[in-house]
Amino acid sequence: MPVHGTCRTICGLCHANCGLLVTVGPHGIERIEGDPDHPASRGYICGKAHAGKEIVESPQRLTMPLRRTPRGLEPIGWDDALDFAAGRLAAIRDRYGPESLVRNAGAPVSYEARDGFLYFMRVFGSPNFTGSSNCCWLPRATAFNATMGGKPEPDFENARLILFWGSNPLATERYGNYCGYERFHRIISRAKARGARLIAIDPVRSETAARCDEWIRIEPGSDVALGLAMINVIIAENLHDRDFVDRYTSGFLALAEHVRTATPDWAACITGLAADQIVDLARRFATNGPATICDGNGFDMYCSVVDAVRTVAILLGLTGNVDVPGSVVFLPFAKQSVLSAPPKTAKIRQSEFPIFRDVPFPGIKEALLHDEPYRPRAMIVHHSNPVLIQANQRRTVEAFRKLEFLVVDDVFMTATAEIADLVLPATSPMERYGYRAYSSFDRGFVALSRPVVGPPGEARDVFTMEYELAARMGLEADYPFVDSRSWVEHMLKPTGVTLARLEHEQIVAVTPPPRYRKYKETGFQTPSGKLEFYSEQFAKAGYDPLPIYREPTNGGASPVVPAPAGFPLRCTSRRPAVFVHTKFRNLAGMIASYPEPLLWIEPSDAARRGLREGDMVELSSPRGRVTIRTRFDISLRPGLVMMDFGWGNPTDGLASANELTSDEFWNPISGSTPQRLFACEVVKMT
């Protein structure tokens, strides 16, 4: 139970999960500081961590369950809320079968976000998991898995050349996928001091690009062309690692033939780069090793994501920059309990998305809108806000209106909760137990998140909600937990670390130190056991086994495809680093530094439209229009504007980027839609 004094915990607001020291007094949280003994964050916390107190104390918190009535959402007690949910879900299961329930989860910034309602789906019997996984990380992981059987982490400390490709870790604090790194500016400073070359490939001058030695200003969505041309140069000039390629890879000859026409001249007009620049980058990547690539979310929200990241993985393999010091490395990781089970029935659109772990959100959306192959009837939205996250907001709402029961658990009212039948008030990270497993270049370790204050009103942790719901439906037999505390105990069992020990020690190492070149003993976790340039898995599933460049198909938003009439500009989007996804734009401490979304525009594009910096404009696309304030950015390519993403909740009421984006096309493997690229026009508000 929470006590007064200072306790060690971890921040649950973003994926980095930095260590915290939280001091609590008689009137609540008094101080939030970084934990200097946390092996990854080493005392660092960002400005968002201080919002933990404001989140706990905000008068906007959801504190009671809300049920939809003809008068709107109205407060009810927990017993009524859970009875209502259990009754609706049981009726839907009896009438349509258990597959008619979908779990929609958001980014796993905490393991509570990752795991809530997973086991419930298992006992309910539905295979249908969806969420924001089509928008972040899983498409990249799918590409790496196909190529080298896992998603390795960049070894920044030993690299001589570091490519930040579609990633901005200085701002996002996301340095790897599971790896805990020290504060990133120190890593960059050390890399520069030892003479490593840092290069950012990004359409916009990100915070990381600004600190790098070079910024390669690529056209948005053209990464596949750059990757293929780099592969072309490396093979044509015989710069690949012949020994590694001969012994540990497959498909080299097919790859060489495949990229023969992907010349730097061909890629130059697609990427907006000079052919010489592409040649030079390829040569340096192949000859200045060890080299690593830090890929990021900049790849994800394009239809091309999986092929683009396949070229990244292939470049690493071609040059032997895999599992050696200074490359990308498979790190040891804590074994944890598994809550989900292999589904007994095929997921929705299994034949369309046979490889992707989840049903990509467009698959669920189209099933809802067209009853194809069948219509989901109920959805549990856990720690997620699909109305704002997914492309084409209007159609997402239209699809959700087809559900017979929509339940949302969250901390604040969201654009998705606003249309739900039932809203359940969730605890924030400071109000419940949790944990996190980290890989690192030292050891894999686990750390505890603990309740430092009680929840406001009747907010509950998701595992309590989940168990109580299961119990009402007679599904509680053998449930492995009843609340967040027992969930932590259950999840840590395979590590041998008890909760009591973790409460005492806070951080416990659970793996041996990492080893390099493991492929020499075990091969790669691919069908052939080799690093596969030609993906057997993709070929078997009916996908292109080698990465292919395709023109963007979302309304001509490309330098080589004519723009649709009336929309001569291209728009990309980004999340300002002071926020996490769509959250916290209702907190005074957060919006003080960034009060509203902005449209970043190059001054000559603004001048042609008679705009001054700060003007309010109408930004329109073939899908819709929003009102937004302009800000100049001289580093943008003329013709390209950039919109801040993540606003549009009822608690902020400002412009949402997904009013403008298209869900007409998606990546055939991951269902990724082009939120980062759409045709648009900007007109001054009169």
The reply to whether 312 sits near ligand SF4 by the rule CB under 6 A is no
Nearer to ligand SF4, 48 or 284 (CB): 48
The reply to whether 101 sits near ligand SF4 by the rule CB under 6 A is no
Q: Which helix (H) or strand (E) holds 93?
A: helix 78-96
Length of the chain equals: 686
45 Cβ contact partners less than 8 Å away, ≥ 6 residues apart: 11, 18, 20, 32, 33, 34
Among 16, 331, 617, 655, binds ligand SF4 (CB under 6 A): 16
CA–CA distance, 579 with 593 (Å, rounded to integer) = 10
Nearer to ligand SF4, 40 or 669 (CB): 40
610 Cβ contact partners less than 8 Å away, ≥ 6 residues apart: 684
Q: Classify burial at 343, counting beta carbons within 10 Å of its beta carbon; exposed 0-12, middle 13-18, buried 19 or more.
A: middle
CA–CA distance, 26 with 394 (Å, rounded to integer) = 46
Which range touches ligand SF4 (CB under 6 A), out of 6-14, 130-138, 569-577, 618-626? 6-14
We find the least distance from the C-beta atom of residue 590 to ligand SF4, in angstroms, to be 11
User: Site mask, ligand SF4, residues 115-154, x = CB under 6 A?
Assistant: ----------------------------------------
Q: How far apart are the first and last CA of the chain?
A: 57
We find the least distance from the C-beta atom of residue 383 to ligand SF4, in angstroms, to be 15
State how far the alpha carbon of 640 is from the alpha carbons of 185, 557, 601, 664, in Å.
29, 10, 7, 21
240 Cβ contact partners less than 8 Å away, ≥ 6 residues apart: 234, 286, 318, 319, 320
Backbone angles phi, psi at 443, to 5 degrees: -150, 160
Nearer to ligand SF4, 382 or 581 (CB): 581
Q: How many residues bind ligand SF4 (CB under 6 A)?
A: 11
Nearer to ligand SF4, 169 or 363 (CB): 169
Give SS3 for 272. Answer: coil
CA–CA distance, 162 with 164 (Å, rounded to integer) = 6
Sign of torsion over alpha carbons 133, 135, 136, 139: positive
Give SS3 for 279. Answer: helix
We find the least distance from the C-beta atom of residue 514 to ligand SF4, in angstroms, to be 23
Q: DSSP assignment of 620-679, as one string?
A: EETTEEEEEEEEE-TTSPTTEEEEE-S--STTT----GGGT---S---TTT----TT-EE
We find the least distance from the C-beta atom of residue 335 to ligand SF4, in angstroms, to be 23
We find the least distance from the C-beta atom of residue 653 to ligand SF4, in angstroms, to be 24
- The count of C-alpha atoms lying within 13 angstroms of the C-alpha of 353, restricted to the half-sphere facing its C-beta, is 27
Residue carrying structure tokens 């989007």: 573
Site for ligand SF4 in 373-412 (CB under 6 A): none
Q: DSSP assignment of 118-166, as one string?
A: HHHHHHHT---EEEGGGTSSHHHHHHHHHHHSS--EE-GGG-SEEEEES
We find the least distance from the C-beta atom of residue 215 to ligand SF4, in angstroms, to be 24
Residue carrying structure tokens 């960034």: 594
CA dihedral 433, 439, 440, 445 (to 10 degrees): 40
We find the least distance from the C-beta atom of residue 429 to ligand SF4, in angstroms, to be 9
We find the least distance from the C-beta atom of residue 44 to ligand SF4, in angstroms, to be 7
We find the least distance from the C-beta atom of residue 10 to ligand SF4, in angstroms, to be 7
Among 7, 8, 9, 18, binds ligand SF4 (CB under 6 A): 18
CA–CA distance, 126 with 345 (Å, rounded to integer) = 8
User: Site mask, ligand SF4, residues 558-597, x = CB under 6 A?
Assistant: ----------------------------------------
User: Site mask, ligand SF4, residues 49-78, x = CB under 6 A?
Assistant: x-----------------------------
Q: Which helix (H) or strand (E) holds 78?
A: helix 78-96
Among 7, 21, 46, 508, binds ligand SF4 (CB under 6 A): 46
The reply to whether 17 sits near ligand SF4 by the rule CB under 6 A is yes
Among 7, 8, 9, 13, binds ligand SF4 (CB under 6 A): 13
Nearer to ligand SF4, 22 or 225 (CB): 22
User: Site mask, ligand SF4, residues 160-199, x = CB under 6 A?
Assistant: -------------x--------------------------
We find the least distance from the C-beta atom of residue 598 to ligand SF4, in angstroms, to be 21
DSSP state of 480: S
Nearer to ligand SF4, 14 or 324 (CB): 14
Backbone angles phi, psi at 652, to 5 degrees: -120, -35
The reply to whether 113 sits near ligand SF4 by the rule CB under 6 A is no
Nearer to ligand SF4, 171 or 426 (CB): 171
Among 45, 313, 423, 459, binds ligand SF4 (CB under 6 A): 45
Which range touches ligand SF4 (CB under 6 A), out of 16-24, 190-198, 234-242, 443-451? 16-24
Which range touches ligand SF4 (CB under 6 A), out of 40-48, 148-156, 245-253, 367-375? 40-48
Nearer to ligand SF4, 432 or 637 (CB): 432
Which range touches ligand SF4 (CB under 6 A), out of 9-17, 57-65, 197-205, 241-249? 9-17
Among 7, 14, 294, 571, binds ligand SF4 (CB under 6 A): 14
Chain residues in the site for ligand SF4 (CB under 6 A): 11, 13-14, 16-18, 45-46, 48-49, 173
